[in-house]
Amino acid sequence: MKSIEIKAKEWFDKRNGNSYFSADVIIDKKEVFKLPFQYGYGTQYEEEAKAVLTEHNRISCDYGQNLRRYCLENNIDYYAEIKTNCKKREL
């Protein structure tokens, strides 16, 4: 594995005050894992990406280690972005 890229979108439910996101986790620009619409804010999308990559045996992080640190220690290019203020239908 040479690169991990996360492209996330966030929607804020003003009525209830909750944030939701969905994301694509792309490995080496060819293998894509979809993170479905779910509750979360801040960098939760990175934690969920780590969980799905671990579940599919693509990475093996130590307890408490975040995905950015894992990539740094294993010479993997890492890029994560979140687009905020999206509409619910965009997610």
Instruction: Evaluate whether residue 23 is within a structural domain.
Output: yes
The C-alpha atoms of residue 81 and residue 34 are separated, in whole angstroms, by 15
Instruction: Evaluate whether residue 49 is within a structural domain.
Output: yes
Domains: count for the chain? 1
Six token digits for residue 89: 């239908």
Q: What pLDDT sits at residue 5?
A: 97
Q: What pLDDT sits at residue 15?
A: 93
The C-alpha atoms of residue 34 and residue 26 are separated, in whole angstroms, by 9
The C-alpha atoms of residue 10 and residue 36 are separated, in whole angstroms, by 12
Does 64 score more than 90 pLDDT?
no
For 3-62, how does the pLDDT look when each residue is reduced to its tens digit (9 = 90+)? 999 999 999 999 999 999 999 999 999 999 999 999 999 999 999 999 999 999 999 988
pTM of the model: 0.91
Instruction: Evaluate whether residue 88 is within a structural domain.
Output: no
**Cβ-contact 2, 78 below 8 angstroms:** no
Residues constituting the chain: 91
Domain with 13, as residue range(s), is 3-83
